[in-house]
Chains A and B, each alone.
Chain A
């Protein structure tokens, strides 16, 4: 019984952690090829605030998941993308 309670608490903690991980997506102009995606992915992964980077060429979007209690401001995100030769046109933040 005690073991079951511990498992339930552990699962809830994981849920809370996932809920705390902030996700945003960015519309990017010029994102047309595999090398473009690799470039964006490598450079966001260098940022310690970022837990996960996904690039969707079809949607022309970059998806960022931040570590717990971590974030990047709009200006920093725009700068990272600009420094790699692309243009961030819109940053979509989920405020839930």
Chain B
């Protein structure tokens, strides 16, 4: 446990990034749905202000057939605003129910996410540690780099070409799964699709309203 904690802190100090910002504008509601190489998830959250959001998170680990249903709290720990760039660090924490076969038990998870973004370049990183008595004891981490092939202004379609790296030490011989993907983004709608090195489709979407 201490080892995981040290890894989390080390990663936090080395690199700041995130998969997709987990907090919306004040009073904003967001639906995020991700279908990836290892798991499918849905996250519905409400942001009372730009510093935190709270909501439901459902996750399903495809290979291990583990279902997680939880309350997730996302906190913005730090934001840096630059002319033409922004960087954020978030803390994500969950508490809820883990289910495998007919067994249910309480689980908790905690993770750090960060990002650095300009209108042309994007880098993000996030990690998460899941723990319950018997069903789950897992660390995972994701990193992304992206480039926009053209710079679009507000109201136009934004496109990104990205590479996602997923690492779950317990999964498929400790391999790093690489997923090239395309992100399309307009106003309050974002969608992503790709194909991973372990031959799984990726499809994500986010709607903010």
Contact = CB atoms under 8 A, between A and B. Distances in A.
Interface residues on B, range: 20 to 34
Interface stretch (B10-18, B79-87, B100-108): B79-87
B81 A87 contact: yes
B81 A34 contact: no
Given A43-B25, A83-B50, A29 B81 contact: yes
A23 to B, nearest CB: 18
B83 A34 contact: no
Contacts of A15: none
Given A32-B119, A34-B185, A60-B83, A84 B25 contact: yes
Interface string B67-78: 000000000100
Interface residues on A, range: 20 to 34
Interface stretch (B136-144, B151-159, B172-180): B151-159
Contacts of B59: none
Interface string B177-209: 000000001111000000000000000000010
Nearest to B158: A34
B188 A38 contact: yes
21 contacts: A30-B79, A30-B81, A30-B82, A32-B85, A32-B117, A33-B119, A33-B158, A34-B154, A34-B187, A35-B24, A38-B25, A38-B187, A42-B28, A43-B25, A43-B26, A56-B153, A57-B119, A83-B26, A83-B49, A83-B50, A85-B51
A87 B157 CA distance: 25
B82 A29 contact: yes
Nearest to A59: B153
A55 B187 CA distance: 12
A13 B117 CA distance: 46
A39 B21 CA distance: 13
A30 B79 CA distance: 9
B208 A60 contact: no
